[in-house]
């Protein structure tokens, strides 16, 4: 099949590369000339396990190409996939300007049938707006062309996106047109062999499914973080509570890990967008604003523990920080808890020595050169002359460190663990003052 992907960001690159890998001819179009030039050299702008080698293989085979030529892109694919960003607007709603621009471009240049596929995360009703925008562009040209619009939301986990695309839990397709359904079945047939994962539904249900899925995951995280705060005050260990809860198959163990708040490109954007959708249709949502509020509060917890331990005196104190990305196996720092923490520390005159296996370049891009931030090449380098170690991201490399070395390098043996990587009793036996999330110690 010939497929055009608008947007060469996270979703577009993974989608285009994986579709090319099963034999399709994929053309990715992006307005960023420098990004396209780098992609043509096999340089992937994001860290995603397995993506770079897959991209290079399919680019070399001629199945995956990149361009800035929109007219060429529209002519290429019978399927036109919209995978551009939908950043939050000032009121929390999703900004659809880039989606509309793509729809307008398709309408301006199409000369035959196109299946327009919404893969961007968009509010309910966006497919109607895309359809109207394409039709308006056709009308302005005085041209008649058949086209269909389908909703096909992505459910890719950063850090496991290639596997998620290749072996999907489900493939949600919103359409009521038989021809569009047939094309989507053909498109996803290589990923749908051992059982039927395709869920065909109406367009608005498909659009809402994406937001609802992210919102329930965010709800589970915020619920556990609120339970962790209660556990601290009553002297309970939230990790033991988690095991007791997760053993119930109705609850399960997924997404019930307490921590220092969720980040990334999805939940922090999609929960407010869903709140805004509810407001627009007259629904006074109660749970969603609470999920958002708990997450914002949770991102302050590590700083509050640090401030209390040092009795508010953080001026010129030095902190070793392990983890900058919002989660392991990515370099994404969008809405990352590390950013809230570092900015709060800097506001109090503290210095940060940070390490992350993948996100150092991203941190450099965001913050540039500044005297209160040192980006280190190894976890051990961050420890030199630091007043305490702070763990923000649960990378595997942090799970079993040399505690004697940590103790020897720190000015004082203090660890603030935002991901509950270690056992409190063992840490105290080794001589550490150890603060975790919801493990019995009061703030």
Residue 94 DSSP one-character state = B
Calculate the CA 111 to chain-centre distance.
36
Q: Which of 50, 58, 46 is nearest to 19 (CA)?
A: 58
Cβ atoms within 10 Å, residue 49: 15
Q: Which of 154, 32, 26, 34 is nearest to 83 (CA)?
A: 154
Q: CA–CA separation, 318 vs 182, rounded Å?
A: 60
Residue 37 neighbours by CB under 8 Å, 6+ apart = none
Is residue 46 within 8 A of residue 331, CB to CB? The reply is yes
Q: Is 260 a catalytic residue?
A: no
- What would the two tokens of residue 248 be? 């119930």
Q: How far apart are the first and last CA of the chain?
A: 58
**Of 18, 81, 260, 266, catalytic:** 266
As beta bridge partners, residue 114 has 147
What b/e sequence results for 123-138 when a residue is b if at least 16 CB atoms lie within 10 Å of its CB, and e otherwise? bbebbebbbebbeebb
Cβ atoms within 10 Å, residue 103: 28
The residue to which tokens 């702070």 are assigned = 390
Cα angle 38, 41, 45; round to 5: 40
Return the H-helix or E-strand segment holding 340. Answer: helix 337-347
Is residue 353 within 8 A of residue 419, CB to CB? The reply is no
Q: CA–CA separation, 167 vs 258, rounded Å?
A: 28
* DSSP string for residues in 123-179: -TTHHHHHHHHHHHHHHHHT----EEEEE----PPTTSHHHHHHS-S-EEEE---HH
- Residue positions annotated with a catalytic role: 266
């Amino acid at each position: 099949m010939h497929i055009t992907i608008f947007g060469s960001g996270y979703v577009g690159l993974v989608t285009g590369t994986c579709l090319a890998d099963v034999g399709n001819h994929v053309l990715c179009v992006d307005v960023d000339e420098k990004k396209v030039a780098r992609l043509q050299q096999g340089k992937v702008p994001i860290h995603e396990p397995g993506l770079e080698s897959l991209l290079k293989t399919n680019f070399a085979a001629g199945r995956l190409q990149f361009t800035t030529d929109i007219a060429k892109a529209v002519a290429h694919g019978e399927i036109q996939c919209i995978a551009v960003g939908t950043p939050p607007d000032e009121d929390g709603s999703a900004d659809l300007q880039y989606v509309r621009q793509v729809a307008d471009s398709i309408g301006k240049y199409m000369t035959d049938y196109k299946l327009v596929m919404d893969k961007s995360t968009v509010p309910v009703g966006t497919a109607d707006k895309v359809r109207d925008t394409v039709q308006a562009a056709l009308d302005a040209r005085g041209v008649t062309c058949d086209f269909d619009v389908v909703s096909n939301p992505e459910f890719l986990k950063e850090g496991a996106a290639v596997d998620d695309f290749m072996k999907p839990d489900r493939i949600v397709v919103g359409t009521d047109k038989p021809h569009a359904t047939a094309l989507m079945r053909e498109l996803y047939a290589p990923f749908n062999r051992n059982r039927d994962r395709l869920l065909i539904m109406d367009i608005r249900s498909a659009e809402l499914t994406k937001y609802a899925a992210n919102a329930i995951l965010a709800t589970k995280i915020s619920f556990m973080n609120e339970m962790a705060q209660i556990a601290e005050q009553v002297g309970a260990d939230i990790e033991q509570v988690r095991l007791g809860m997760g053993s119930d198959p109705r609850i399960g163990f997924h997404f019930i890990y307490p921590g220092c708040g969720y980040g990334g490109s999805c939940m922090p954007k999609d929960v407010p967008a869903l709140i805004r959708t509810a407001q627009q249709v007259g629904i006074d949502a109660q749970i969603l604003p609470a999920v958002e509020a708990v997450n914002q509060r949770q991102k302050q917890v590590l700083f509050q523990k640090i401030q209390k331990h040092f009795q508010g005196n953080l001026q010129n104190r030095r902190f070793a920080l392990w983890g900058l990305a919002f989660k392991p196996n990515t370099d994404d720092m969008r809405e990352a808890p590390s950013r809230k923490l570092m900015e709060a520390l800097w506001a109090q005159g503290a210095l940060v020595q940070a390490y992350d296996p993948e996100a150092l370049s991203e941190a450099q891009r965001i913050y540039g050169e500044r005297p209160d931030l040192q980006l280190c090449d190894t976890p051990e380098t961050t420890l030199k002359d630091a007043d305490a170690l702070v763990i923000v991201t649960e990378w595997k490399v942090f799970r079993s460190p040399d505690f004697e070395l940590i103790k020897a390098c720190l000015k004082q043996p203090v660890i603030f663990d935002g991901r509950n990587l270690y056992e409190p009793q063992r840490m105290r036996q080794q001589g550490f003052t150890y603060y975790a999330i919801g493990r019995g110690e009061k703030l």
